């Protein structure tokens, strides 16, 4: 019997700081809900909009795998590893923060907001040497398919991180259908609707809904809208 | 229920991050804390005063964490010893509130 958790978009934590409008699927910063602490190794899923020219000053991170997925606009990232990079929609950024890294993140444009997902996973190794990576992902030319963004394999498609986790993303036409098979026995899968509506193994999901499923190895994904987008996060389950 | 003036000790190896942690631990009205980078300094601090929570931060290995946890628990069985993840404000408050609720 599958164990599921449905996080409707409207039930997420919300913080409006003026320059930053953030929705938290899981407890984060001043949003605390003991029922929303994690989905296995997935600890943070923030849906952020940063005003033009604004952003996060230099701040530290450690022992977390941090994935940033710009959806609209672009982010300028600077870190003490020597990276100064602009990441735009269609690119994915991964930081293994390990023993510690300081970075800043700003909206690279002054006139339009930057919209992005920031996702944190617990690592499967503590205190690794920090690393930064960025890859380009083109989901537009492969409709109705899931494209691998991240895996644990440094030689795998996309980029990699220190966790037995896989990220896939896809853009779908209305009625577009695909299947997803879990990548590691014992993992769970967290679906996040970036745009549109989907039905996944019979569960209806709207824009920005999240749906976690354990004890199921195969999923049927059907898009209910044109130009719908889905993120699939396959992670080890623990509490 | 959050006790007033929760006292927190944080031990981690990254001195720059521990400086930030010190500021974060002393920002809320109902927490105060100190940070150290060496296990010996952590033990010395623990002998000097009572702490409600010890946060184990980046750079401390799981073996070192086990030794420290055994030491802290031996001297104060009620103390909460918890691994801190993230290195900053994102998870800190949540980790502390959750640990207090589930102690």
Mean pLDDT by 10 residues, chain A (239 residues): 96 98 98 98 98 97 98 97 96 97 97 98 98 93 95 97 98 98 98 98 98 98 98 97
Best A63, A96, A120, A238 residue to mutate vs chain B (most B CBs within 10 Å): A63
B102 CB contacts (<8 Å, ≥6 apart)? Answer: none
3-class SS at A98? coil
Q: What's the confidence (pLDDT) of residue A216?
A: 97
Choose among B42, B58, B51: nearest CA to B96. Answer: B51
CA distance B86 to chain A (A): 5
Is B16 within the bounds of a domain? yes
Are A62 and B90 a contacting pair at CB < 8 A?
Answer: no
Q: What's the confidence (pLDDT) of residue A239?
A: 87
The domain in which residue B65 lies consists of 6-101
CB A201 within 8 A of CB A215: no
Torsion angle (degrees, nearest 10) of CA B38, B44, B46, B49: -140
Are B101 and A30 a contacting pair at CB < 8 A?
Answer: no
Q: What's the confidence (pLDDT) of residue A119?
A: 98
State which residues of chain B have pLDDT below 70. Answer: 1-4
CB A140 within 8 A of CB A89: no
What do you get for the CA distance between the two ends of chain B, in Å? Answer: 11
Q: What is the pTM of this model?
A: 0.97
Structure tokens, A172: 């779908």
Count of domains in chain B? 1
Is B19 within the bounds of a domain? yes
Q: What Cα–Cα distance (Å) separates residue A71 from each residue in A19, A85, A91, A221?
A: 17, 16, 9, 21
Best B24, B86, B97 residue to mutate vs chain A (most A CBs within 10 Å): B86
CA distance A193 to chain B (A): 23
Is B43 within the bounds of a domain? yes
Separation CA A65–CA A98 (nearest Å)? 8
Is B58 within the bounds of a domain? yes
Give the number of other Cβ atoms within 10 Å of residue B59's Cβ: 21
Whether the CA torsion A142, A147, A131, B54 is positive or negative: it is positive
Q: What Cα–Cα distance (Å) separates residue B64 from each residue in A10, A77, B36, B67, B68?
A: 43, 33, 14, 5, 6
CATH number, residue B51: 3.40.50.2300
Is B1 within the bounds of a domain? no
Tell how far CA A100 is from the center of its chain.
Answer: 21
Q: What's the confidence (pLDDT) of residue B4?
A: 66
Q: What ipTM was predicted for this assembly?
A: 0.94
CA distance A223 to chain B (A): 34
Structure tokens, A69: 């997925």
Q: B54 forms bridges with which residues in the sheet?
A: B9, B81
Separation CA B48–CA A55 (nearest Å)? 41
Separation CA B62–CA B47 (nearest Å)? 22
Separation CA A33–CA A55 (nearest Å)? 26
Of A37, A62, A122, which is closest to B58 when you measure between CB atoms? A62
- Long-range own/partner contacts, residues B68-76 (CB < 8 A, 24 or more apart): B68/B11, B68/B39, B68/B42, B68/B43, B71/B43, B71/B46, B72/B46, B75/B46, B75/B47, B76/B46, B76/B50, B76/B51
User: Which residues of A sit within 8 Å Cβ distance of B?
Assistant: 27-30, 32, 34, 37, 43-44, 59-64, 97-100, 102, 120, 122, 126-127
């Amino acid at each position: 019997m599958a164990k599921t958790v449905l996080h409707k978009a409207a039930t997420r934590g919300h913080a409006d700081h003026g320059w930053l409008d953030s929705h938290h699927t899981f407890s984060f910063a001043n949003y605390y809900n003991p029922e929303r602490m994690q989905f296995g190794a997935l600890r943070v899923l923030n849906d952020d909009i940063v005003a033009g020219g604004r952003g996060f000053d230099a701040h530290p991170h450690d022992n977390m795998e941090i994935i940033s997925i710009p959806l609209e606009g672009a982010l300028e990232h600077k870190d003490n590893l020597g990276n100064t990079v602009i990441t735009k929609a269609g690119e994915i950024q991964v930081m293994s923060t390990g023993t510690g890294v300081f970075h800043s993140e700003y909206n690279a444009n002054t006139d339009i907001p930057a919209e992005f997902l920031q996702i944190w996973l617990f690592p499967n190794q503590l205190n690794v040497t920090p690393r930064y990576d960025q890859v380009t992902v083109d989901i537009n030319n492969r409709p109705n398919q899931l494209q691998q963004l991240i895996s644990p394999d440094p030689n795998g498609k996309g980029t990699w991180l220190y966790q037995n986790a896989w990220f896939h993303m896809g853009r779908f036409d209305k009625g577009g259908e695909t299947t997803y098979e879990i990548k590691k026995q014992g993992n769970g899968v967290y679906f996040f609707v970036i745009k549109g509506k989907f039905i996944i193994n019979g569960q209806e999901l709207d824009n920005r809904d999240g749906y976690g499923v354990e004890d199921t190895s195969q999923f049927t994904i059907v898009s209910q809208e044109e130009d719908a987008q889905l993120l699939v996060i396959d992670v080890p389950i623990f509490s | 229920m959050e006790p007033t003036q929760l006292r927190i000790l944080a031990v981690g190896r990254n001195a720059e991050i521990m400086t930030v942690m010190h500021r974060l631990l002393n920002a809320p009205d109902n927490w105060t804390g100190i940070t150290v980078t060496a296990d010996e300094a952590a033990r010395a601090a623990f002998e000097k005063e009572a702490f409600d929570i010890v946060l184990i931060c980046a750079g401390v290995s799981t073996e070192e964490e086990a030794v420290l946890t055994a030491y802290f628990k031996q001297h104060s069985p009620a103390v909460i010893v918890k691994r801190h993840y993230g290195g900053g404000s994102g998870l800190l408050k949540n980790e502390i509130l959750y640990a207090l609720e589930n102690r």
